[in-house]
Amino acid sequence: MNRRQIVAGNWKMNMTLEEGTTLASSIIEKLKPSQTSVILCPPYIHLHSLSTLISGISNLSLGAQNCHFEKSGAFTGEVSAAMVKSTGATYVILGHSERREYFHETESMLAKKVNAVLSQGISPIFCCGEKLESREAGTQEEVVRTQLEGGLFHLDAEAFSKVVIAYEPVWAIGTGKTASKEQAQEMHHFIRQLISHRYNSELANLTTILYGGSCNPGNAHELFSQPDVDGGLIGGASLKADDFIAIINSFPKSE
Ligand code: PEP
């Protein structure tokens, strides 16, 4: 397989400065060199200090959990893509379902955020995924198609090649209810087909698509063994160094 394997940890709104440094240090201590790229996505306050802590570790990077789409200005409490980049972070999670739900992020806002991130030469980790009612109604593919068309498919192929996608069924996030390996594979394959139709099959085959939703050391291996699942976006389990490391070591070829 010629696409990148990634495990990204979304710390959400957890960890004081001291706790975050302890967690990151413990992850660094246990992390083995491998071809899996590991991305820590802590709250903004950690980015600069963790950037110093991880320097020199080739498979470890940092990402923010959000950013604003404007370059600067009177947006109290917001952080721009340039500010994120200035900390040393190289990724930004965009369109997480919690941001869509609690902060009313729309596809058009997300498209602007994607542009802002890419304009800084850093990469979006673009989240998509259906709610339970859509899964039950069988409309999950339509939902994901709309999200990708609205947030990403305005990009040209060159810009799109910098994007990482995370499929995160909302009903699986933080619920302990994971998508089955078949459900994950089916949606990842569908997403790859959409990319192939919009761009081309080469780009589709090179795009890293992560699964997110109650991924843990007990289910990561079967999920990461699916042909179209290239790793995970991990919430709760990324806050425990041993669990996060076990997930990182769950790719079939690392056995
Ligand atoms: C997430 O927040 O992106 C996530 C996947 O959370 P959890 O692993 O806790 O379900």
Please list the pLDDT of the chain residue by residue as tens digits (255 residues).
579 999 999 999 999 999 999 999 999 999 998 999 999 999 999 999 999 999 989 899 999 999 999 999 999 999 999 999 999 999 999 999 999 999 999 999 999 999 999 999 999 999 999 999 999 999 999 999 999 999 999 999 999 999 999 999 999 998 888 999 999 999 999 999 999 999 999 999 999 999 999 999 999 999 999 999 999 999 999 999 999 999 999 999 644
Which residue out of 12, 132, 209 has the highest number of ligand 1 atoms within 8 Å of its CB and is therefore the one to mutate?
12
Of 46, 68, 96, 188, which one is the catalytic site residue?
Answer: 96
The angle formed by the CA atoms of residues 174, 4 and 223, to the nearest 5 degrees, is: 40
* pLDDT reported for residue 176: 85
Of 98, 105, 130, 168, which one is the catalytic site residue?
Answer: 168
* pLDDT reported for residue 255: 42
Is 96 one of the annotated active-site residues of the chain? yes
Nearest Cα residue to atom 3 of ligand 1: 235
CA of 212 from ligand 1 middle (Å) equals 6
Report if pTM > 0.85.
yes
Kindly report, residue by residue over 26-61, the tens digit of the pLDDT.
Answer: 999 999 989 999 999 999 999 999 999 999 898 999
